[in-house]
Structures are given as structure tokens and as C-alpha cells.
Amino acid sequence: MDNVGFSFENCINAQKEASENCSVHFIQSEPMLFTAFSITISVIHDAMQRNLWVSGRSDAEEKDRLILGGTFYQGIFVAERLSRESYFSQAAAVVRQQLECLAAIVESRLGKRISGKTPNISVLNNAFGKDYGNLSQIAHVSVPKKLEVVYAILSQDYNKPAVSILPAFNIKIIKSLYSLNILLTLLFAFELNDLFHHLYEIGLNEKELTTLGNVLALLEDIGAIEDAHLNEANKSFQRTLYSATE
């Protein structure tokens, strides 16, 4: 069937232009957040590449964590781009899955993972429960008021409701999703250190640990993460430093 009278190309270009504009505005508005993400993911990538072809221990626990780690790693980029380009409900769904995946990794490390059961988010920190609930409400489209905040725009006729069919820049929502994704990525890096210790008897190197510590300090300085989350991240970082000295 011919696409007579319609333009698929115009449709795609409109989405592309709107999302790219949101991305540019975000990077200009929050360059330090974008830098924090870029540095964190670079550290993780280098560490993973270094151990890619190294033989190590292999048992059920490590295998589960490796699979979960690969899943989480791919999700980092999807969550980052969807957040930066203002695809908010889609970003919420991916960040929510990242929370679940990270919780499953921690459960596996602690020997508490139960196959077929949704991971318990509280294994990370009770503060993440609120994030998980908010993300679920948006991802499951269960609370219209939440979606109204995300998609409502001013109409030319102020008496009529309007929504955006294209990505629309909202720095508050982008910053919230983007910051949470960075925080989860940092926590994943600390879990990766523990996994590498088990597999290869060596985790992240001194330069990588120092760099992640600097990123954590940067996020604290710019107020990108809440105190409860910051405390959990600092505890995880200290645990990582301790394991590196053993």
C-alpha cells in the first residue's frame, strides 16, 4: 500500500528535531551533569574492556551477576538518551528497570536472590522506594496527574487542555531522571568492583576509584542527589575502597 498524501519522513524529522533540541538545551543547562555521566560510563567501559578476555572463576552467583551486569550496562545508555531527549515516560520505564536490575545484582551478591521473583528495591536503600513508586506511576500510566505534569503544555486557548506530541524541554524532569540514572550507574560501578574481585581477584584500579570518588563529590557539590541517596552512595564507595585495600 502506497503512503499517498502522507510523509513518514516529516514525521521522523519532527521527532528528531524536537529531541535533539531538548538534548542541546539540557547539555547547555547542566554541563556538569553531562560531564559526570560521561566520566562515570568511561571508567566502567575501560574496566570492563580490561577484563573482557581474562579468564576467572565461574560459578552460579558470578554468572547471574555477569548477566545482570550486561543487562544493566546496556540500559545505562538507553536511560541516558531517553532522559536527555525528553522522552519522559519511556525514560521512567527504563530507569525503573535499572533500579530492579541493580537490586537483583545486590541480592545476588548477598545470596538473597530468588529466581522468578521481582527484586526487593529496599536491598539498595529505603529511600529508593519512593523513586520506584514515582517511576512506576509514570511508566504504568496509572496516575493521570503524574502524566499531566510530564506532557501538559499551554494551549493557544487557555480554556482547553493540550499535550505535546513531540519531546518538550522540561529541565526539572530531565534533571531528576538523569541524576537518578547517574547515581544508579555509580552504584553499579561499585558492584562491578566487587564482582571483579570475585572473578579476577582484582577490582577497579586506583585511578578508576579516585575518578569515581571525584564524580560523587561533584554530584554532591551541584546538589544533584538527595542526602539519603548520597549517604548510600558514600557507604558503597567506602566499602569499595576497603575491598581495594584487602
Measured distance CA(156)–CA(136) in Å, rounded: 32
* pLDDT exceeds cutoff 90 at 32: yes
For residue 59, pLDDT beyond 80: no
Asked if the model's pLDDT at residue 52 lies above 90, the reply is no
Do residues 239 and 190 make contact, with C-beta atoms less than 8 angstroms apart? yes
Looking at residue 68, what is its pLDDT? 92
Domain boundaries, the chain: 32-245
d(CA 174, CA 131): 14
Q: Are 22 and 169 within 8 A, CB to CB?
A: yes
% of the chain surpassing 70 pLDDT:
83
Q: Is 216 exposed, middle or buried (0-12, 13-18, 19+ CB in 10 A)?
A: buried
Q: What is the pLDDT of residue 170?
A: 87
The pLDDT of residue 221 = 92
Query: Each residue of 104-129: pLDDT tens digit?
Result: 999 998 888 888 888 999 898 888 88
- Structure confidence at residue 152 (pLDDT): 61
Could you read off the pLDDT of 121-159 as tens digits, one per residue?
989 888 888 899 889 888 877 766 667 666 665 545 556
Q: What is the pLDDT of residue 55?
A: 58
Q: Which pLDDT score is estimated for 43?
A: 95
Quote the pLDDT of residue 226: 82
Which cell goes with 183? Answer: 547515581
What average pLDDT is seen over the chain? 85
pLDDT, greater one: 97 or 200: 97
Residue 172 has pLDDT above 70, yes or no: yes
- Give the dihedral sign, CA 174/76/218/128: positive
Place of cell 552512595: 233
The string of DSSP codes covering 152-202 is B---SSTTS--B-SS----HHHHHHHHHHHHHHHHHHHHHHHHHHHHHHS-
Measured distance between the N- and C-terminal CA atoms of the chain, rounded to whole angstroms: 67
Give the span between the Cα atoms of 65 and 130, in whole angstroms.
Answer: 25
Cell numbers found for residue 115 = 529466581
Three cell numbers at 15? Answer: 521527532
Exposure of 151 by Cβ count < 10 A (0-12 exposed, 13-18 middle, 19+ buried)?
Answer: middle
pLDDT score at 49: 85
